[in-house]
Amino acid sequence: MSLRLRLGALALSLICAAGAVAADELTLNLRDTNISNLIDLVSEETGTNFIVDPRVRGNITVISSRPVPRDELMDLFHDILKIHGFAAIPGESSTRIVPDAQAKMDAPAILDLEPEMDADVRGGSVVTHVIALRHVAAAQLVPVLRPLIPAGGHLAAATEPNTLLISDTRSNVHRIRALVERMDLPFADDFEVIELRHARAGELAEQLQILAREGTGELATPQVLADRRSNAIILSGREESRLRLRGLIAQLDREMEEGNARVHYLKYARAEEVAELLRNIAEKSPDVDPDARSGSGIHIEAHEATNAVVTFGPSDFIRDFDIIVEQLDIRRAQVLVEAVIAEVSSDRVRDLGVQWGAIGNSGVGVLNFSGPGSRGILELAAGVEGFLDGTVSSPPDIGDGLTAGGVGSTGSTRIAALVNMLQRDTSSNILSTPSLLTLDNEEAEIVVGQNVPFIVGRSIEDSGQAFDTIRREDVGVKLRVRPQINQGNAVRLEIEQEVSQLAPGTSDAADLITNTRTLKTHVLIDDGDMLVLGGLIQEQQTDSEARVPGLGSIPGIGRLFRADRNQTEKRNLMVFLHPRIVRDSARGAELTSEKYSFIRGEQLREQARTQQRASPVLPEWERLTQLPPSFEDVHGHRD
């Protein structure tokens, strides 16, 4: 230490010691003393640890005419630092002394300030404080408060949220906050409704909001709302702000020139359907004069190439058409309808009968008990005779089941006997799950089956040649639906469902028999739920017996003169429905992936069962939806 500094420190000590009048008071008289000596003195008297920035240098002068209490020494120390361009930043265990320019960046953030000064953070320490405003826009207060902030302080406004950011000494922050509290007062808001005669409320509201925000804080901006139903503007805010907007509305709400044309490029709706609707509205409107109804006043055309609707007419009609088109041209949701048709049926038949025939010189006698699946004895006899003499190319069909017979004679009479025995069990288990996707309120239909010819008429010309009239009909599974999405994700469905098939044993187009199950109903079901639409549970048992009176009742041998038939038929049919709403492309991709993965899984299982590795299989869904690699990824980057 230089001789001058040592003498200065010694003089400072002597002056302080000589000026002390009490244990809790201190008199400071410093002339051209190095600031580091003052820092040492304050540290010793207050017990505070200081960390001094190397840029803190220079000499100071303090003239005190009265003793300073020790509890005010720190405030005096902060004032001395502030005059010389320095600031003290308190910390947990020490206080840093830095230049003012650095202080506002290193100052601790104090969000809540008590009205009284904190003992730990003195009035001269530098802090950063955030003041939240409730009524006045922060940007409006910055020009008012900036002259009260010294050069080393900082003041800024944030619009979101509406706050002021201040970095300065704690005492000045208290002062600024007190001023802000007096200025941040609520103002009397009022509102008014302005009906528009020519302009569209939605478009005009957007323009007014932009004009109202220019040059003002966001909270001070009057609120502008559009009531599309009544075509009116709602203003809310201060009277002076609303007065300015009323003038703008009066200038903008002007009638357009006659013969206005408007082109609406539709995003979702069909131009022809929208144009037809607008024509009907214009024709039925009581405000349209006869000339306009005839086509000279209002013109509406659809341009299919660009899916656009062109409207031409008076401005009030053009404005109404704009509102109608805007509300109609929306993205419509879709509905995936899945039907489950389950049918289980069984048919059991038992036939047992004996047929007799006799022929002699005096006549012919026949006892015929043939059933649906067997042939009569005379039919078989005629077929055998024709096959033997060559008039028939093939032997006769003996029918279903076991058929056995024999021929005997007694005298001039020949006797024949034929026994038919049949037991048939038929069962079926049919499961159909048709599904289809359609737009809300649009009818859709799916048909999976065959187009079968039916002979519905026959004509014979004069030449004797016969011509048949054939009508083809679809036989299989049919599903026709029209979904309507209601509020709350409920779906109203108009459903027509049919399952038909050809009856067994019919091959000629003239004698085709179809078994048909048809269901037509209207239901309401929530999205994703399963609902039973209807069904049939049927069981039918038929027992029939044919006998020769008298002979058929004889115990034992009466069985030779009797035929029995027992038939049991059971059928269980149920139809279920499972609708799922598709509101966006993500949901559509999810359902498509689900169906796609199911079909691919079936192909893989069939490939494993048949051991045919070359059979075609769909690619994985992830590979199918990925974009192809770029040229750089394939060939690398070229210089």
414-438 burial: b if 16+ Cβ within 10 Å, else e: eebbbebebeeeeeeeeebebeebb
Q: Which of 146-160, 264-278, 385-399, 409-423 has maximum average pLDDT? A: 264-278
Residues 6+ apart with CB under 8 A from 173: 110, 113, 127, 129, 166
Which range has the worst mean pLDDT, 139-153, 397-411, 459-473, 572-586? 397-411
Beta bridge partners of 342: 431, 574
- Cβ–Cβ under 8 Å, residues 436 and 446: yes
Q: Which of 129-133, 190-194, 477-481, 540-544 has maximum average pLDDT? A: 477-481
Separation between Cα atoms, residue 278 and residue 301, nearest integer Å: 9
The pLDDT score that the predictor gives to residue 150 is: 76
CATH number of 126-183: 3.30.1370.120
The pLDDT score that the predictor gives to residue 387 is: 46
Asked whether the CA dihedral 489, 490, 491, 497 is positive or negative, the reply is positive
Write the single-letter amino acid at 369.
Answer: F
Separation between Cα atoms, residue 375 and residue 369, nearest integer Å: 9
The mean predicted confidence, pLDDT, of the chain is: 75
Nearest to 459 by CA among 467, 447, 451: 467
Nearest to 541 by CA among 581, 502, 568: 568
Residues 6+ apart with CB under 8 A from 197: 253, 255
Mean pLDDT of 310-318: 82
Give the number of other Cβ atoms within 10 Å of residue 264's Cβ.
24
The pLDDT score that the predictor gives to residue 418 is: 62
Tell whether the model's pLDDT for residue 289 goes beyond 90: no
The stretches of 390-518 forming alpha helices (DSSP H) are: none
Give the number of other Cβ atoms within 10 Å of residue 568's Cβ.
15
**Residue 161 in 3-state DSSP?**
coil
- The residue with greater pLDDT, 16 or 318, is 318
- The residue with greater pLDDT, 266 or 474, is 266
The pLDDT score that the predictor gives to residue 9 is: 47
Helix axes of 239-252 and 201-213: crossing angle, nearest 10 degrees: 130
- pTM value is 0.49
Q: How many helices (H) and strands (E) does the chain have?
A: 15, 27
The pLDDT score that the predictor gives to residue 293 is: 45
- The residue with greater pLDDT, 30 or 524, is 524
What residue segments make up the domains of the chain, in order of their start?
A: 25-104, 126-183, 191-252, 261-330, 352-420, 426-583, 588-638
Tell whether the model's pLDDT for residue 487 goes beyond 70: yes
DSSP label of 257: P
DSSP label of 59: E
- Cβ–Cβ under 8 Å, residues 558 and 547: yes
**Pairing relationship of beta strands 531-547 and 50-52 according to DSSP bridges:** unpaired
Q: Do domains 126-183 and 261-330 have the same CATH topology?
A: yes
Mean pLDDT of 323-334: 90
- Cβ–Cβ under 8 Å, residues 526 and 577: no
- Cβ–Cβ under 8 Å, residues 436 and 479: yes
Mean pLDDT of 458-471: 78
Instruction: Check whether the bond before 616 is cis (ω within 30° of 0).
Output: no
Provide the token pair at 27: 């008199």
The pLDDT score that the predictor gives to residue 53 is: 80
CA 609 vs CA 132, 595, 606, 612, 613: distances in Å: 73, 21, 5, 8, 10
CATH number of 261-330: 3.30.1370.120
25-104: which CATH architecture?
2-Layer Sandwich (3.30)
User: Which residue's structure tokens are 């809300």?
Assistant: 440
Separation between Cα atoms, residue 580 and residue 80, nearest integer Å: 77
Tell whether the model's pLDDT for residue 523 goes beyond 50: yes
Separation between Cα atoms, residue 625 and residue 592, nearest integer Å: 11
Nearest to 275 by CA among 324, 231, 332, 316: 324
Please name the fold of domain 191-252: Ribosomal Protein S8; Chain: A, domain 1 (3.30.1370)
Q: What's the pLDDT tens digit per position in 132-157?
A: 888 778 888 888 888 777 776 778 88
Q: What's the pLDDT tens digit per position in 434-462?
A: 889 999 999 999 988 888 888 777 788 77
Q: What's the pLDDT tens digit per position in 195-235?
A: 888 787 888 888 888 877 664 544 456 778 888 767 888 88
Tell whether the model's pLDDT for residue 310 goes beyond 80: yes
Question: DSSP labels for 87-114?
Answer: EEEE-SS-EEEEEHHHHHHHPPB-S---
Q: What is the SS3 assignment for 579-628?
A: EEEECCHHHHHHHHHHHHHHHHHHHHHHHHHHCCCCCCCCCCHHHHHCCC
**Residue 445 in 3-state DSSP?**
strand
Nearest to 248 by CA among 215, 205, 218: 205
Tell whether the model's pLDDT for residue 508 goes beyond 70: no
Write the single-letter amino acid at 383.
Answer: G
Q: What's the pLDDT tens digit per position in 61-94?
A: 777 767 777 777 777 777 777 777 777 777 777 8
DSSP label of 200: -
**Residue 400 in 3-state DSSP?**
coil
